[in-house]
Structures are given as structure tokens and as C-alpha cells.
Amino acid sequence: MGLFLTFEGIEGCGKTTQIRLLADGLRQQGHDVIETREPGGCDIADQIRAVLLDARNNRMISTAELLLYAAARAQHVAEVIQPALDAGKTVLCDRFCDATLAYQGFGRGLDINRIIDLNTYACQGVIPDKTLLLDLPVEIGLGRARQRNGQQAGPNEDRFEQESLDFHQRIRQAYLDLATQEPERFITIDAGGDPQQVAQRIATAMAVTVLP
């Protein structure tokens, strides 16, 4: 069985960059690494992602949002994550179930137990071995995210960046609470500073807790 590592955090915390840097380092050590993301990671889930993150879909109700995330996750787990783990690969995933708890549960105020049940059903027993939480003040993260979106030429994926500061504060606090509740799984990383500084913090934490 392979190793499943997920990355979580608020908008603009640097997950995508840090996944790429960690993947490069692990490959140099001989690991067979798969980099993936949620929502998305495979063709069907990517089509759902386009709906979920498009700012034009601002009339989407919270329940529909939750169910679309669950659908994308079910496809992603079955098509990408589970086969990779079965093949003994290391999977690095940009967001997973904790994101749904943070955003749709604590952010939107949907029923936490119902979200847990949906996540369990979608994942079919797949649970992260470790979750790296990249923590950053909300104002800094949103500033980074909005600057990034302004520079991208691809599809419009800024629906969540348009939410209120209070919404994003709830997300950050939810992540910190989840990390406190599951200290054996979560590794909280200070995401401030330049990418190489953050990468070094991750490498140090990984050497101690994940890859002896």
C-alpha cells in the first residue's frame, strides 16, 4: 500500500507550490509520486471543478455545492487515488475531505455529521496517512490568491475568493480546530515567508514524522 498525503489550508497558502517542491524531493529519493488535486484530478472531476469554482455560478446553493464536491471526490478516489495507493505509489493531494468540513461545514454552516457521512461514502475507506496544514493569516492568503488569479490566463476559478473576510476567517479557524482534534494526522506548517523557507519546514517535519 502506498502513502497518501493531503495538503490543506486557506486560499493562497501555497499548497500547489509546496506539493510540487515536495514531489520533486521525494522523487529524488526514489519515490513514485502522483500529484493530484480536489476538486478535480481526473476528467469527470475536472468538469465538476469547472462548475464549482466558476465565479459566474454565484447562485449555487450550499447543498448543491456539497453534493458536487462529494461526486467529484468519489470519481477521483475510484479513478486515481485508490489505484495509485494499491500500486504502492505516494499520492500528494491538494485538498481532500477536510476541505469540505472546513468550507461547507464551518464556512457554509451545513450539518457536520452529514458531511462526514458523505465523505465516508465517497472515499470508500481511503483516509490520508498525514495531512499538512499550511497556516497563514487570511489577509495574506487572500492577497496572494487574488494576485495569482489576476495573472492567470486559464479558466475563471475565483468563486471562493469573492467570499467575505469573515467566511475565510471561519475556514482558517476550522482547519486549526481540526488539527487540534487529530494531532496524530495533522502537521501544521507556518506558511509565511518565501516558498523555499516553507519547503524546508515541510521537509523537516516530514523527516521526523513521515519518512524516517
Give me the sign of the Cα torsion angle 100, 103, 104, 110.
positive
CATH fold, domain 3-209, is: Rossmann fold (3.40.50)
Sequence ranges of the domains in the chain:
3-209
Tens of pLDDT along the chain (212 residues) come to 899 999 999 988 999 999 999 999 999 999 999 999 999 999 999 999 999 999 899 999 999 999 999 999 999 999 999 999 999 999 999 999 999 999 999 999 999 999 999 999 999 999 999 999 999 999 998 887 777 755 665 565 577 777 788 999 999 999 999 999 999 999 999 999 999 999 999 999 988 677 65
- Positive or negative, the CA dihedral 72, 73, 77, 78 is negative
Question: d(Cα 123, Cα 72) in Å, to the nearest integer?
Answer: 11
pTM for this one? 0.91
Residue 6 contacts residue 96 (beta carbons within 8 Å): yes
Q: Supply angle C-alpha 174, 175, 177, rounded to 5.
A: 65
Amino acid letter, residue 60: M
Please give the angle made by the CA atoms of 60, 76 and 113, to the nearest 5 degrees.
Answer: 60
Q: Which amino acid is at 105?
A: G
